[in-house]
Amino acid sequence: MINKYDAVIIGAGIIGCCISFELCKKGYKTLNVDKLPAAGYGSTSNSCAIIRLHYSTQEGVAMAREGYFYWLDWSKYLEVRDTSGMAYYRNTGALVIKTESNKNLNNVMATLDDLGVGYLELEPKDLKSYLPNVDLRSYYPCKTLNHKDFGKPTGDQIAGAIWVPESGYISDPQISAHNVQVASENKGGKFMFNTEVVEILKQNNRAAGVRLQDGTTIESPVVVNVAGPHSFIVNRMADVEKTMKIKTRALKQEVSHVPAPEGLNWERDGFMLSDGDIGCYSRPEVGNHFLIGSEDPECDEREWVDDPDNYNKNLSSQWETQVMREAQRVKGLLIPGQPNGLVDLYDVTDDWIPIYDKSDLPGFYMAVGTSGNQYKNAPVVGAMMAELIKACEKGLDHDKEPYQFYMKYIKRKFNVGFYSRKRKINPNSSFSVIG
């Protein structure tokens, strides 16, 4: 095996694969190293794979809008077909409920207007044509099951909603990562699985490659940390975490799967529902189910994980809390006696906005803190990181002069410094999975 590469990417989730693909297109010889057996087997495989445009910041909305067009013509983007199967985008639309927590979507609507994205602003009564068995009462602020007032309405009705037609989800997130692996390999990219990085090599005060658990050394002037929930461990290996103002941690997350109400063909007719009033998001799932996740309201306990390889992977009372909250909005939701769903880890920054940046170690780059709200942005992140790496390796001081990435679909420049490791905590963030 050749042990010299132009760039080593630690991680082969959807974002790691996209960075590899984009670097390969620029002529880099790349190697993705992942401790799991295949691309997308980590948190990518358990992503809800939702494609949406509502974020808490203007920059977040712009990134999602740019990313949307990559997914819209997935095969064209990849320039090759994966013979083992292709992921596909299913457009369902998204119904987003207005709440105090999202400022009644005023900022989101303003940014959608600026980007020329169509949406409908709905009165509460209009929601009955989207969800026939909807409960329009407000339950805000969210509560946990053990609260004495759980399930008691706090208002006669919600404030309304917006309907964003250009929203949906990807059929299979793990397959989408494999699709990009194939695309990268088609351009010369290499992948190593069941392989763990244990050391970031340095030479002349810059990154020089990685050492693997079996003692093998891989030489490379560029190392990119895309390790998902293990990102903080890799940053500590490189000794760059202590100078970062924004850091990452691993957070346990649960997603619930429950049958749709009787008479409702949700798998066929359902859509993405983001409901800050009850603190949940959901989308259709195979088998005529609802897939339900938490929007991380303040009342929910957050279980931070110090060892991403050793944590409780069992569903907890959070599963029931999410289902019962969804049942407040969706009357007749079937609540099974046996919990069914997924448990995995999110890679989360202090303000839930990712870090796409260089580091204080020349040659060491980061695409971290991405879990929960960045799957949809993976293709554009790959393109942006490839441009950033190329510019910095040619001498750009990104800290002093942030790179301006041109978004080819929405035709505007984006200040990549927004995702800096040295930024202050962004007060406009939702501090939740919404981003």
Q: Is residue 71 part of a domain?
A: yes
Distance of alpha carbon 94 from the chain centroid: 17
Domain's final residue, options 329, 349, 369: 349
Q: Is residue 331 part of a domain?
A: yes
Per-residue pLDDT of the chain (435 residues; tens, 9 = 90+): 569 999 999 999 999 999 999 999 999 999 999 999 999 999 999 999 999 999 999 999 999 999 999 999 999 999 999 999 999 999 999 999 999 989 999 999 999 999 999 999 999 999 999 998 899 999 999 999 999 999 999 999 999 999 999 999 999 999 999 999 999 999 999 999 999 999 999 999 999 999 999 999 999 999 999 999 999 999 999 999 999 999 999 999 999 999 999 999 999 999 999 999 999 999 999 999 999 999 999 999 999 999 999 999 999 999 999 999 999 999 999 888 899 999 999 999 999 999 999 999 999 999 999 988 999 999 999 999 999 999 999 999 999 999 999 999 999 999 999 999 999 999 999 999 999
State residue 372's pLDDT score: 86
What number of H helices and E strands is found in the chain? 9, 23
State residue 42's pLDDT score: 92
Question: Which pair of structure tokens corresponds to residue 15?
Answer: 């974002």
Same-domain status, 382 and 409: yes
DSSP, collapsed to helix, strand or coil, labels residue 275 as strand
CA distance 435 to 422: 18
Number of domains in the chain: 2
Residue range(s) defining the domain that contains residue 78:
7-84+172-247+351-419
Same-domain status, 239 and 190: yes
Residue from 414, 398, 416, 396 nearest 406 by CA: 414
CA distance 16 to 231: 12
Same-domain status, 285 and 343: yes
Q: Which CATH number fits the domain that encloses residue 278? A: 3.30.9.10
Q: Which CATH number fits the domain that encloses residue 361? A: 3.50.50.60
Please give the helix or strand (H or E) that residue 69 lies within, else none. helix 58-72
Please state the pTM of the whole predicted model. 0.97
Domain's final residue, options 324, 349, 374: 349
DSSP string, 109-172: HHHHHHHT---EEE-GGGGGGT-TTB---B-PSP--TTSTTTT--SBSS---EEEESS-EEES-
Contact between 228 and 19 under an 8 Å Cβ cutoff? The reply is no
Residue from 257, 260, 258, 232 nearest 246 by CA: 232
Same-domain status, 189 and 106: no
